[in-house]
Amino acid sequence: MGTPKNIPEDAVNVEEGLSNKVYFHEDKVYKIYRFFPVPGLYASLLELFRGRLIFYGRNRRIRNSIKMAELVRKTGFETAEILKQEGRLIVFERIEGVSGFEYLSNCTEEEASELGFDMRQGLEELHDMDVALKDARLSNFIIKDEDVYSIDHEYSSLEAGKLFKILDELTLLSSARQTSNYHAFKKGFRPHKHAVLLSIITAFYHVILFNRKWSRLKNLWRSLRPARQS
């Protein structure tokens, strides 16, 4: 298949994901939204647990992307500028930087702690507006110079309850824990007690269901304890 209409012929298809088609061309990102991808089904089912019938089809995901771009800029985060929206296509500014995961995997402990602090500030400002990212993995952040860019907002919640806010924090901590700078990051981030409690519950679940060793649970608890005030 050739390049879709309204996208430059020499654009590079960088991702054939479950949700969308993504193309890079010079300083722009072209995202074509699918009608109802598999993650949209999962997101819709998750809303049912809150007693809400919400369909994460193409139109809702496009609206979320546009609205969240406005809200994110009111926080300590930055985000890519939306240059054009035409039907199922959104053209974004391309941010040249490194993913949050790559950055945390290679930065110093001081930089990791500073990133944790910035993440805490940005998330709290978003949550104060009753919105949640719902996919706050480090890979959905880009670090450029000293700025943190939040990207990929199509499954965000614009009317977030406490559950989604807790899941934001838990998702971020879980992705940070896969890096060597997790402890320094956590020291700056200072997780809330509810996120630590959920992490422990999840650990018990894995021990029981997957027959993990109890010694690993003990180590997990040590890593998840809130950092002491200095």
Q: Domains of the chain: which residue ranges?
A: 12-191
Q: What is the mean pLDDT of the chain?
A: 85
Q: Label residue 130 left, alpha or beta by phi (over 0 means left) and psi (-120 to 50 means alpha).
A: left
Average pLDDT of span 76-93: 96
Q: Which residues contact 213 (CB under 8 A, 6 or more apart)?
A: 207
In this model, does residue 33 exceed pLDDT 80? yes
In this model, does residue 224 exceed pLDDT 70? no
> Is the distance from CB of 146 to CB of 92 less than 8 angstroms?
no
Task: Report the percent of the chain where pLDDT is more than 90.
Answer: 60
The secondary structure of residue 94, as a DSSP letter, is P
The amino acid at residue 201 is I
What's the pLDDT band for 58 if we cut at 50, 70, 90? very high
Backbone torsions φ then ψ of 168, nearest 5 degrees: -55, -50
What's the pLDDT band for 171 if we cut at 50, 70, 90? confident
> Is the distance from CB of 105 to CB of 180 less than 8 angstroms?
yes
CA 218 to chain centre: 28
Q: Which residues contact 140 (CB under 8 A, 6 or more apart)?
A: 100, 133, 150, 151, 152
The amino acid at residue 83 is L
Looking at the domain that runs over 12-191, which CATH code has it been given? Answer: 1.10.510.10
User: Residues 35-51: pLDDT tens digits?
Assistant: 998 888 888 988 888 88
Higher pLDDT, 17 or 212: 17
Task: Report the percent of the chain where pLDDT is more than 70.
Answer: 81
What's the pLDDT band for 163 if we cut at 50, 70, 90? confident
Structure tokens at 200: 């422990």
